[in-house]
Structure 1
Amino acid sequence: MNQRQKLELLAPAKNLEFGIEAINHGADALYIGGPTFGARAAAGNSVADIAKLAAYAHRYDAKVLVAFNTILRDDELEDAQRLTHQLYDAGVDALIVQDLGLLRLDLPPIALHASTQLDNRTPEKVRFLEEVGFSRAVLARELSLAQIREIAQQTSIQLEFFIHGALCVSYSGQCYISHAITGRSANRGECAQLCRVPCTLENRDGIALAKDQHLLSLKDMNQSANLQALAEAGISSFKIEGRLKDLSYVKNVTAWYRQQLDAIMAGQPQWQRASVGRSRYTFTPQPEKSFNRGSTDYFLHGRQIEINSFLSPKFAGEPVGTVSRLGDKWLEVQSNEIFHNGDGISYFNQKKELVGLRVNRAEGNRLFPAETMRGLSVGTELFRNHDQELEKLLEKKSAERHISVNMQLSDTDEGVSLQITDEQGVSASVALALVKEPASNPERAVTTLQEQLAKLGNTMFVADKVELTLSQPWFIPVSSLNALRRDAVQQLELARAAAYQRPAPSTQRSPLAVFPQQKLTYLSNVYNQQAAAFYQQHGVGTIAPAYEMNQESDEVSLMITKHCLRYSFNQCPKEREPGFKPESLVLKMGKDAFRLKFDCKRCEMHVLGKSKQSRLSK
């Protein structure tokens, strides 16, 4: 590991407002969608807003990355190329890319990050991406620490890893079930999230092993306990999922991971923060109170039970107790928690359905819900999925971020000068001409000078030290002193803006790099002629078109996932007695049925099916 490795906290930004708050709450970098071509079609932003966000982020040396990670049609390439230049001119620091056809276009000198949609799982794949010009690879969520370490040891590219938020059940970029059923492509930013709908699992005889459960829905990622291990394995960027989440989620979760990473870096000289400025909060970060489906660290330490969230894809909330008494319009909770008017309470009824209630009034542990209490009985476990007191704090201004500065007031021939220097060593100096008159009360004058200069108010700076190097304390009118301080702050902001440097793009663009595969199936998502030409240039002989281009298809893998229903239902031959023969399984989703195939050698499950067009034509 390089000395003083920078560790970056990367937060989601749905829009300009969310991005600014992510910075205020401690993010070192943001990722945001542009006007088009981002993998969250519902989270697009204008170039003008992205320019404003970049200007704000750069004040703290924070970066803005734009998700440019859909596959592109041939008729979109010209617009895509034009947009890359507009984003570069707006101050964007890097593009997150899935379609490798972009690398054959006339791109601006901007850093490129290989999206997790490229299915970055092996050292060979990541090394190739490094050789053709990527400066960072976003690794697959399914990787173990050992696999991450192996990739880091065999490459020198920056490695990014998701540490929090929703999990796609399929390998990213390898999910086609949304397009197969609805015509909406996940690789085009239009995922219908069919993995969150209820399903039925049947054996070959049509006997249901599970009925109307969310069998493809996973818990959410939470790597809070593994941040140091990830850093030691080679991860330098820690990514929070959530470009479609609400603002309180962004504030709360960003602040939580800021505190966790800072605690890890304290006393660890090999690491440093990737941006500057410290955030102060009006609340205590508690990620368990923001939207989540339960927590898992997934496969980081190998396969484990209960990575799934079969009962509901919704946010049940944190456990808060059980029902002890029921009245006509009230319930009492056996709990040590404090409840508030406006809290959200949830529970699972007898049908295992998640039911939500809003607390209209709380009198100690007696709660008066606004809704009718159905399916609730004594002993029912309760959860809180809306903490009104925390949400009230997060609705307001909940964080400030300041950069520490040292201030020095010195004599000049014409008067005095104020030099202000920030924690990175960037400085600015402003002079004030005045007739020097000794202060009538020197001790009081020293205190006044220091106090007035330290009043940095609503600026982005906070005074760490104010030093007076004067031959003696002078009388300086407070109005003049304030103007001197304002001018110095303004000049420092200009100096910081001038000193900011965007990350340089990779200088590697090897035309001789050989892609690890010589034959590409639809899984490589080749959707345009430039992408095909790119792969041909790098040694690929046979290239199948992207799944989205096929109107007719045989049965193919619509999902490839490490989540295994055999394992979940005690059918895994690796876990059972010798000679055990698992049953053939079919997954039913509404009127659609999908055969399941299990690759036990790779420990993967394939959800097999045909395209909707193909099925309708039969």
Structure 2
Amino acid sequence: MKDLQRPELLAPAGNYEAFLGAISAGADAVYLGGQKFGARAYADNFDTQQVIRAINYAHLYGRKLYMTVNTLVKEEEFDDLYDYLAPFAQAGLDGVIVQDFGVWGFVKEHFPNVELHASTQMAVTGVYGAKLLKNMGAVRVVPARELSLQEMIDIKEKAGIEVEAFIHGAMCYCYSGMCLFSSIVGGRSGNRGRCAQPCRLPYIVHGGLSQSTNDRNFSASDNTSEDDEYYPLSLKDMCTIEIIPSLIEAGIDSFKIEGRMKKPEYVAGVVSIYRKYIDKYLEDPKAPFKVDPKDLDVLRHLYLRTEISQGYYQRHNSRDMVTLSSPGYSGSDDRLIASIRDMYLTGEKKRNIEAYGYFHPGCESMLTLSLGDVSVTVSGQVVQEASKRPLSKEDLAQRIMKLGDTFFELRKENLTIDMDESDPGIFMPVKEINELRRSACERLLQELSGKA
């Protein structure tokens, strides 16, 4: 067996809680949308400060963050695009997922350090499309979901580009980026992030359906009329947990979970199960691979439609892929949701750090912060001799340990203060101590994020 690479597990996030749940549950990377230019205009989405905080938090834990700019952009909107993306690029955004070729050229010109990922909205269906995008600077391509596993392998091997593939979640009836159905029937364009999902609505099938259908919700014993109402455009949701070994062996670089419109419990729960089975297979590829029925049941009850399929990876255009009679979501058990919240949706987790402070009269104040093998030192104002009440170690410790809204936590036993305690003692304005602490925290975060 050839050496197997560990695929990136890529999770969706429609809000900050879902983002935190994805990180906590084991996602290697998260993709999200801001307030503009995203294909999920009706998700909560992130404001500028939330995106920047998410970038910093992801990097703190060695994860990546990608941003969707995957709608078609009008000429007059390009004036806003630079100001929109600049803060995220400056914060260390890892990649931008793009549909519009104009946006592609714009990002490549103005933000050359940000990776370009070709969205599934580009409808890449073969090797030549992937090669074209690679020559245009693409690091990664998200091929159309309609491709077989072998077609994915061909793109990976013959185009020589990273491949990101959907492994779980809702599926469109049409090639992404090529559908005009919502625009025509309701004036809401999927290519502008406003799809009304008319494919999920019931339609009258004139003449009824052939009773030879293999759909398990429809059999020859059903009473049907010539004009029956069905959901002929509503595809079953994708769930590939049982073919994870095949996807890993195919060399797919990133396993993508759909669902920026879905709840944080869905994100955390689905990520945790795929994390479990990806790691399980890679730990011992020769061992029999079997999914616990309880885990499969959890996936079925986390905001998936009543039926699931494995997508197009191992079959093409089967009638069994359509949920003809029941496209709604299955219910989720309250106890399951509560357990996911208790385990993964517990807010930001702070990292414990160590600190060393140096405070001697006539010398610059210095503060060193350390996390693992990463250490930073910053200098501040020159320490003065006290003319009245000198600062004590307790005074300094109280100020240095006040980390507030940062991602760090400093315990007293991890703080060492080197200071002159002889008469007349030392003095530093509180403002300067606070600035020293703030600068050190910012520098440590930069080092941990690789942005220094």
TM-score (norm 1): 0.53
Residue type at the aligned position of 1:21: G
Segments of 5+ residues of structure 2 without an aligned counterpart are 209-223, 287-294, 355-367, 378-405, 418-438
Match of 2:278 in 1: 261
> Map of 1:313-332 to 2, 5 A cutoff?
313-316=327-330
1:153 aligns with 2:157: yes
1:394 aligns with 2:327: no
Residue type at the aligned position of 1:104: G
Match of 2:116 in 1: 112
Match of 2:314 in 1: 301
CA distance 1:419–1:52, change in 2 (3 Å): closer
Contact 1:31/1:65 (8 A) holds in 2: yes
Match of 1:500 in 2: 449
1:288 aligns with 2:288: no
Match of 2:23 in 1: 23
Contact 2:6/2:248 (8 A) holds in 1: no
CA distance 1:61–1:209, change in 2 (3 Å): farther
User: What CA distance in whole angstroms lies between the structure 2 residues aligned with 1:167 and 1:70?
Assistant: 18
> Map of 1:134-533 to 2, 5 A cutoff?
134-202=138-206, 211-267=228-284, 286-293=298-305, 294-303=307-316, 304-316=318-330, 385-396=331-342, 398=344, 422=372, 426=374, 481-484=413-416, 495=444, 497-501=446-450
Contact 1:18/1:247 (8 A) holds in 2: yes
More strand by share: 1
User: What CA distance in whole angstroms lies between the structure 2 residues aligned with 1:285 and 1:481?
Assistant: 46
Shift of 1:493: 9.7
User: What CA distance in whole angstroms lies between the structure 2 residues aligned with 1:178 and 1:203?
Assistant: 25
Shift of 1:500: 2.9
Match of 1:47 in 2: 48
Residue type at the aligned position of 1:180: I
1:9 aligns with 2:13: no
CA distance 1:102–1:420, change in 2 (3 Å): closer
User: What CA distance in whole angstroms lies between the structure 2 residues aligned with 1:209 and 1:241?
Assistant: 37
Contact 1:94/1:111 (8 A) holds in 2: yes
Shift of 1:397: 5.0
Across the two proteins, how many residue pairs are aligned to each other? Answer: 362
Match of 1:129 in 2: 133
Shift of 1:289: 1.9
Residue type at the aligned position of 2:337: E
Contact 1:136/1:158 (8 A) holds in 2: yes
CA distance 1:492–1:9, change in 2 (3 Å): farther
SS in 2 for 1:113: strand
Residue type at the aligned position of 1:111: E
Contact 1:69/1:98 (8 A) holds in 2: yes
Shift of 1:394: 2.9
Shift of 1:285: 9.1
Shift of 1:214: 1.0
Shift of 1:60: 1.0
User: What CA distance in whole angstroms lies between the structure 2 residues aligned with 1:249 and 1:217?
Assistant: 21
Contact 2:369/2:441 (8 A) holds in 1: no
Contact 1:11/1:29 (8 A) holds in 2: yes
CA distance 1:493–1:223, change in 2 (3 Å): farther
Residue type at the aligned position of 2:312: F
User: What CA distance in whole angstroms lies between the structure 2 residues aligned with 1:27 and 1:254?
Assistant: 6
CA offsets, 1:415-474, max 9 Å, x none? xxx99774xx65689xxxxxxxxxxxxxxxxxxxxxxxxxxxxx999xxxxxxxxxxxxx
User: What CA distance in whole angstroms lies between the structure 2 residues aligned with 1:460 and 1:80?
Assistant: 29
Contact 1:50/1:90 (8 A) holds in 2: no
More helix by share: 2
Shift of 1:288: 1.9
Shift of 1:386: 2.8
CA offsets, 1:289-328, max 9 Å, x none? 2111121012211234521111122113xxxxxxxxxxxx
User: What CA distance in whole angstroms lies between the structure 1 residues aligned with 2:4 and 2:312?
Assistant: 29
Shift of 1:147: 0.6
Contact 1:201/1:208 (8 A) holds in 2: no
Segments of 5+ residues of structure 1 without an aligned counterpart are 270-282, 317-384, 408-417, 430-458, 462-478, 503-618
Pair member with larger Rg: 1
Shift of 1:90: 3.5
Match of 2:365 in 1: none
CA offsets, 1:485-517, max 9 Å, x none? 9xxxx9899656414347xxxxxxxxxxxxxxx
Contact 2:56/2:449 (8 A) holds in 1: no
CA distance 1:309–1:4, change in 2 (3 Å): closer
SS in 2 for 1:96: strand
SS in 2 for 1:386: coil
CA distance 1:214–1:39, change in 2 (3 Å): same
Q: What is the RMSD of the two structures over their aligned residues, measured on CA atoms? A: 3.8
1:99 aligns with 2:100: yes
SS in 1 for 2:323: coil
User: What CA distance in whole angstroms lies between the structure 1 residues aligned with 2:48 and 2:28?
Assistant: 21
Q: What is the percentage of aligned positions where both structures have the same residue?
A: 34
Shift of 1:56: 0.8
Shift of 1:48: 1.1
Match of 2:362 in 1: none
Contact 2:374/2:447 (8 A) holds in 1: no
Residue type at the aligned position of 1:82: D
User: What CA distance in whole angstroms lies between the structure 2 residues aligned with 1:4 and 1:297?
Assistant: 22
> Map of 1:38-77 to 2, 5 A cutoff?
38-43=38-43, 44-77=45-78
Residue type at the aligned position of 1:394: I
Contact 1:48/1:90 (8 A) holds in 2: no
SS in 2 for 1:239: strand
Shift of 1:64: 1.1
SS in 2 for 1:244: coil
CA offsets, 1:173-210, max 9 Å, x none? 11101111111111111101000000122259xx9766
CA distance 1:460–1:38, change in 2 (3 Å): closer
User: What CA distance in whole angstroms lies between the structure 2 residues aligned with 1:460 and 1:267?
Assistant: 35
SS in 1 for 2:7: strand
CA offsets, 1:85-110, max 9 Å, x none? 23212432111100001233242121
CA distance 1:107–1:226, change in 2 (3 Å): farther
TM-score (norm 2): 0.71
Shift of 1:211: 1.6
CA distance 1:284–1:180, change in 2 (3 Å): closer
Contact 1:221/1:298 (8 A) holds in 2: yes
Match of 2:424 in 1: none
CA distance 1:419–1:108, change in 2 (3 Å): closer
User: Higher mean Cα deviation, 124-133 or 208-217?
Assistant: 208-217
